Structure 1
Amino acid sequence: MATERIIPDRGEFVDALRALRRGRVMVRVSPLAGGCVIDGRPIYHSAPTLLRYGIVQRWDNPDGFDGVEYYRLSPDGDVFAERALETWRHRPLLERLAVRIAG
């Protein structure tokens, strides 16, 4: 029996955390894959993990569009992202490259 990976695409996940740590907003226009974007870049695999584990929380955007959901890092998500990105930076370059290729 195959188990589902918690983080299907680790490279995309790291990129999403980095953008969110920089203050960017995840925009969810659809519950379908590719229905979330950060800075105009589609997030195909990471949004469910970010949501499921409370790494992001819904943000009320008064200038936003009806039917569109906006998310920012939660306080716990910010702590997690800081640790995860620090760990990522200390991985050897070839390992980070292999992770990006393999997902």
Structure 2
Amino acid sequence: MSSAVETPWPRAVAVTPLADFQLRVRMHDGRTLFLDLSDLIARRDAYWRLRQSRYFRQATVDELGGICWPEGEDLCPDGLERYRCEPSTPETSMDQSAL
């Protein structure tokens, strides 16, 4: 993401997929949010691809500060707070060995 883009909403600048359909998101203002997407993924058919951990790990930040995946699933930047949760203990990043 280009940090030169100024927006009136809070925006993500980095995302790290974690276990149990959670994300660690670093925001432009320095805050770190932990998001739990498990309920969203279970309820919404539009997010069916995210049920596969290999695909879930492909989360990236789009140019407007939202979270997105390769086939078009996305979370708008001003709606990220609604998925906020406490971090899992211990915090476990989904690396390549987490298959």
Same fold (TM over 0.5): no
Smaller-chain TM-score bracket: under 0.3
Structure whose alpha-carbon radius of gyration is higher: 1
Greater fraction of residues in helix: 1
Name whichever structure is richer in strand by fraction. Answer: 2
TM-score normalised per structure 1: 0.26
